[in-house]
Amino acid sequence: MTTLDSKPARAEGRKDPWSQLLEKVGKHQDREAYHALFQHFGPQIKYYAMANGLASHAEELVQEVFVSIWRRSCLYDWKKAAASTWIFTIARNQRIDMLRKMQRTSAEMPVETEDLWQIPGEYENEPVTSLHRLMSERRVRDSLKHLPEEQITVIAKVYMESKSHQMVADELGIPLGTVKSRVRLALNKLKVILQDQNV
């Protein structure tokens, strides 16, 4: 396993601008950096909420996510995840939380959202920083450009509209098997599935 700690100079060069800004928020409560993050990620999170059928709560979700970013930024470790990945997981969890709160019948929620869906770098028993982890976002972004539209459409519905594979199949009027094979082809190119062979 390659660790970045042995090559700090090179590792520093891999830090993307958003991760640098997020680190400034975490270390120095830098409000300018926080504002820059808001301008970049705020609209993305708002769209995410709207695509998920939370149109009337879209800005509320953005607000929840940003308050959470502020509170947790001291835990952010750029070696564990790129800022955008870290922020995506917070947005996802806040969306799940919001839906749970709307749907719950009793006040008691024995298991919290974050007991199930964790934020990268928190509550982990593994201190190892892998190059894989850091590179994964760049690799995903590059490979995504080469995927056929039909594969991207399916993935977008799963991630942005929280649709199950079955729901995507129903909506597009194609068999479930076709949806699954499109996802598999895409994940193959993104090298998610390739790792199965090493297991």
Contacts of other proteins in 114-153 (CB under 8 A): 115-118, 120, 122-126, 130, 132-133, 136-137, 139-141, 144
Of residues 47, 53, 170, 171, which one binds other proteins by CB under 8 A? 47
Q: Is 13 in the site for other proteins (CB under 8 A)?
A: no
Q: Which is nearer to other proteins, 9 or 71 (CB)?
A: 71
Of residues 14, 15, 42, 150, which one binds other proteins by CB under 8 A? 42
Q: Is 84 in the site for other proteins (CB under 8 A)?
A: yes
Q: Any idea how long the chain is?
A: 199
Q: How far apart are the first and last CA of the chain?
A: 15
Alpha carbon separation from 103 to 88, 99, 153, 193 (Å, rounded): 23, 6, 29, 34
Q: Give the type of residue at 27.
A: K
Q: Which is nearer to other proteins, 9 or 199 (CB)?
A: 199
Q: Is 55 in the site for other proteins (CB under 8 A)?
A: no
Please give the Cα distance from 26 to 125 (Å, whole number): 22
Phi then psi for residue 49, to 5 deg, are -65, -45
Q: Using CB under 8 A, which residues numbered 157 to 186 contact other proteins?
A: 158-160, 162-165, 180, 183-184
Please give the Cα distance from 157 to 131 (Å, whole number): 29
Least distance (Å) between residue 51 CB and other proteins: 7
